[in-house]
Structure 1
Amino acid sequence: MSAPPEAAAPERRRWRRRVLVAAGAVLALVLALSWVSQPSQVSAILLDRVGHALDLELSASGASEYRLRGTPMLEVRDLVARQPGAATPLLRAERVYLSLPWSTIRAAGAVLDVERVELDAPQLDVGALQRWLASRPPSPAPLRLPTLSRGARIERGRAVGAGWSVENLLIDLPRLHPEQPLRARLSGAVVAAPLRIPFSLAATLQRPAAARGLGLAGPVEVVARDWRLPMHAIAGGRLHAGADGIGLDGLRLGARARYRASDTDLPFAFGLAGPLRYRDARLSLAPLGAALRGREAMPNLDGAGRFAYADRLELQLQGRLAEWPQAWPALPPPLGQSRSPLPFALDYAGAADFSAVAALRLQRDDTVFDGRFRLPEVLDWADAGARGALLPPLQGRLSTPRIEVSGAVLEGVQVEIEDDPPPAPQQPTPPPHPPAVAPPPNR
């Protein structure tokens, strides 16, 4: 027995509504899946949320990819990060890869477990980064670091500061845990014209936190236009970050090196110590302790002073030479017979390759020399030994109460030393004009 028409009509209307609601839900789901299936949409949402949390404008103009199966993964290309309103981005990267477990996603920031991070060709502007960090509100909470179970890798990186840059930077970090030692490999080249300093270092950090010990070891080379300084360096100190800048407290650096220029090859070892700071585009090591140990023509000296580098290199060093190197030309008596150390004071300000003029004050007993020199020229002279000139390439004044020269004793001597400039190249003598030839007489 069928239902009366009056009862069937409402039932049909309810059925049609259910069908329309289901169809609408299916259509909305299809549209949502279609929209979510576009990686650019997903990356735009994530970058917007991350940028809002960091007060940064984040954009990615390249193709993006993501994966939800297994361990979720997101990859964005042509990333640009800048402080709102800033003309210069603080970071660019050709590619950024991030993989993190579902537990981190569900925790919504309460857990910072990340699997791996990769960056290809990132370019970091140090000045823009410092301005962004200065704009961040202070937080009483300690800095939270993520755990990277499969580490991180940076390839073809570049960091740009005021007057310097780090090129072709590679950082390989196998693993990161906030409470465990961190080990990494670093390579690249520091460029601070006219110097280029390639390096390949193994780094060990006691723990990724302030005031923890950092150790570095590996080959470093300082390359200038006319000379180079290959070395194997070992350095250590404690991480520092404060109002006076970032750097290392208690830096200790030791290296075995060779100075090479043309036919010159001088082996030596040196050490530096002091607090290292970088602030407002200025690198400094002050107070500075230094020691140099050489053989043959390289002297042995100990000193203290200060070092700084911004638009030029500045070095002030006071100390003493233990003795006059035997490979240097012998000093006349009584200077040559004295076994007293030689106190010195060195003052340099100029190009980073030490090609500018330096001021030097050197003393032995009552004999004092005040002069000026260029370090590459003096090193070439020292290596030449007996083959070179009798006196080093210096300018200045020597005062001594007594000196013996060729059997004669001179007292109250004042000597002005002038370094002769290299002779100018001789101009070729023009050939004489050919003699005029008288025309033959008319016949």
Structure 2
Amino acid sequence: MAAAETTAPPARRSRKRLWIALALLLAALIGLRWVSRPSQVGWIVLSQAGRALGLEVSASGASEYRLRGTPMLEVRDVVARVPGSDKPLLRAGRVYLAVPWTTIRAAGASLDVERVELDAPQLDIGELQRWLASRPASTEPLNIPRLSRGARVRDGRVVAAGWSVQGIGVEFAELDPDQPLRGRLRGRALADGVELPFDLYATLQRPAAARGLGLAGAIAVQAKDWRLPMRVRAGARLHAGDDGLGLDALRLGANARYRSGSGAGADATDLPFAFGVAGPLRYRDGELSLAPMGAALRAAADSAVPNLDAGGRFGFGQALALHWRGRIHAWPRAWPALPPPLGQSAAPLAFQLDYDGKADFSDTAALRAQREQTAFDGRFRLPQMLAWIEAKDGPPLPPLAGNLSTPKIEISGATLEGVEVSVEDDPPAAAPTPAS
């Protein structure tokens, strides 16, 4: 008896292969249609980025991508959140990323990127700190990507408790972990009624911690009634550690002008001077600090700005704190003359300044000063002190409240010895009586 036939007829095999080919073609067409939709490609990339960073990342705006030449992805209205939080860590109106095929084929082994652009990014410092605290500790060195055509940030914003930085612009032409990084940084910091616009050019020896950083450009401090534009140069080393982020061995020098009033009239004040500060700068837990710090102030001999050297600390968080101990080299000629023998001494004036208050220095500061055996312990407000300095025919003593002690003083031809004087603030002016 003949053996059973085990091979399917040729016609049957052909139909089976045809159905398999049609199924594969249909799957390919469906996949191609799905992938050809930019929103789906954007969703894939953002989902993978979110999983890698431990964030929830989404984009609600239109997306675009290109595979020909250098692959490019552009997504809009991007939002990144810490899982479980309803407050965004980062928002961006537009994110543009161009990555060469070599990086895509390397599947993460290569970090070569062509260009990155961010439009209107908004970063929340509180959420950033929360996310960083949730990340597992790592001893691996930070891998810095290469950006062959650099990066640009436009109209950025950083928000924290009590302060913000708006209109942030960052631009650099190229980023290489083994080469110096040169770029431009500009924006406007706002805190407690004070505005600080800046436009700086920066050079970083290498994009890594403990590397040298140089800054040069324009910074200004602007309050309601005065402004302080300055040209600055600074050098430091990048720092990242348990005590926060910041700069080591900061050295900053500036040519500045204190200006108040309007225009160039008799009521306008324009006081040029130079100053320098040095110390370690840190940012941690919402506070910026420079401690310990050294400071020097220099002006022309006929200026109302005193020449002084000081040391202490500076801090800014919920309020501004400045604590200085130093000495004024000589009583400025532009200040009203002190009565003899106080005004005849050439000894430096030692002082201690302590301020905790608003960022515009409008709150009360404590001041201790001593020249030889004459000592003062009291308080003052900077706006009143500046008005006294600017006055042409003001009172001989500055507007201070406190206690003054001196062995001898001469007033209107009379000599007083063993003098102890208590000076109080002027009482507020009486309100005008309404017309009957």
Shorter-chain TM range is: over 0.9
Equivalent position of 2:407 in the other structure: 401
Maintained 8 Å contact 2:77/2:91: yes
Deviations 1:238-288 (A, max 9, x none): 111111100001111111111111122211111111111110001111111
Equivalent position of 2:190 in the other structure: 191
Query: Secondary structure of 2:70's partner?
Result: coil
- Quickly say closer, same or farther: Cα 1:9–1:277, change in 2 above 3 A: closer
Give the superposition deviation at 1:421: 4.3
Query: Secondary structure of 1:29's partner?
Result: helix
Q: Which moved more, 1:98-107 or 1:331-340?
A: 331-340
Give the superposition deviation at 1:330: 1.1
> 1-side partners of 2:395 and 2:434: how far apart?
27
Query: Secondary structure of 2:88's partner?
Result: coil
What percent of counterpart residues are identical?
65
> 2-side partners of 1:315 and 1:168: how far apart?
28
Equivalent position of 1:278 in the other structure: 283
> 1-side partners of 2:333 and 2:7: how far apart?
119
Query: Secondary structure of 2:179's partner?
Result: coil
> 2-side partners of 1:365 and 1:392: how far apart?
19
Give the superposition deviation at 1:8: 12
- The aligned amino acid for 1:62 is G
> 1-side partners of 2:55 and 2:431: how far apart?
61
> 2-side partners of 1:388 and 1:336: how far apart?
16
> 2-side partners of 1:330 and 1:108: how far apart?
76
Maintained 8 Å contact 2:221/2:228: yes
Give the superposition deviation at 1:294: 2.2
- Quickly say closer, same or farther: Cα 1:425–1:389, change in 2 above 3 A: farther
Equivalent position of 1:210 in the other structure: 209
Equivalent position of 2:42 in the other structure: 43
Query: Secondary structure of 1:362's partner?
Result: strand
Equivalent position of 1:300 in the other structure: 307
Query: Secondary structure of 1:211's partner?
Result: coil
Q: Which one of the candidate residues 229, 247, 272 is aligned to 1:267?
A: 272
Maintained 8 Å contact 1:315/1:349: yes
Give the superposition deviation at 1:320: 0.4
* Superposition map of 1:302-341 within 5 A: 302-341=309-348
Q: How many residues align?
A: 424
Q: Which moved more, 1:416-425 or 1:51-60?
A: 416-425
Please state if 1:343 is matched with 2:350. Answer: yes
Q: Which one of the candidate residues 342, 362, 382 is aligned to 1:375?
A: 382
Please state if 1:411 is matched with 2:410. Answer: no
Give the superposition deviation at 1:35: 0.9
> 2-side partners of 1:426 and 1:127: how far apart?
49
Please state if 1:174 is matched with 2:181. Answer: no
Give the superposition deviation at 1:227: 1.1
Equivalent position of 1:59 in the other structure: 58
Please state if 1:420 is matched with 2:426. Answer: yes
Equivalent position of 1:392 in the other structure: 398
Query: Secondary structure of 1:392's partner?
Result: coil
Query: Secondary structure of 2:370's partner?
Result: strand
Maintained 8 Å contact 2:320/2:358: yes
> 2-side partners of 1:369 and 1:170: how far apart?
47
Maintained 8 Å contact 1:358/1:372: yes
TM-score for the superposition, normalised by structure 1: 0.93
Give the superposition deviation at 1:425: 5.6
> 2-side partners of 1:84 and 1:419: how far apart?
55
> 2-side partners of 1:377 and 1:85: how far apart?
51
- Quickly say closer, same or farther: Cα 1:20–1:364, change in 2 above 3 A: same
> 1-side partners of 2:237 and 2:8: how far apart?
83
* Superposition map of 1:23-34 within 5 A: 23-34=22-33
> 2-side partners of 1:311 and 1:419: how far apart?
27
Maintained 8 Å contact 1:264/1:380: no
Give the superposition deviation at 1:354: 0.3
Equivalent position of 1:441 in the other structure: none
Show structure 1 runs of 5+ residues with no match.
Answer: 1-5, 431-443
* Superposition map of 1:75-94 within 5 A: 75-94=74-93
> 2-side partners of 1:392 and 1:423: how far apart?
19
Query: Secondary structure of 2:343's partner?
Result: coil
> 1-side partners of 2:423 and 2:417: how far apart?
18
- The aligned amino acid for 2:405 is S
Equivalent position of 1:160 in the other structure: 159
Query: Secondary structure of 1:32's partner?
Result: helix
Question: CA RMSD for the aligned pairs?
Answer: 1.7
> 1-side partners of 2:269 and 2:402: how far apart?
25
Show structure 2 runs of 5+ residues with no match.
Answer: 262-267
Please state if 1:138 is matched with 2:137. Answer: yes
> 1-side partners of 2:386 and 2:299: how far apart?
12
Give the superposition deviation at 1:179: 0.7
> 2-side partners of 1:22 and 1:213: how far apart?
62
Give the superposition deviation at 1:402: 1.0
> 1-side partners of 2:323 and 2:387: how far apart?
23
- The aligned amino acid for 1:289 is G
Equivalent position of 1:3 in the other structure: none
Maintained 8 Å contact 2:271/2:305: yes
Maintained 8 Å contact 2:336/2:394: no
Query: Secondary structure of 1:324's partner?
Result: coil
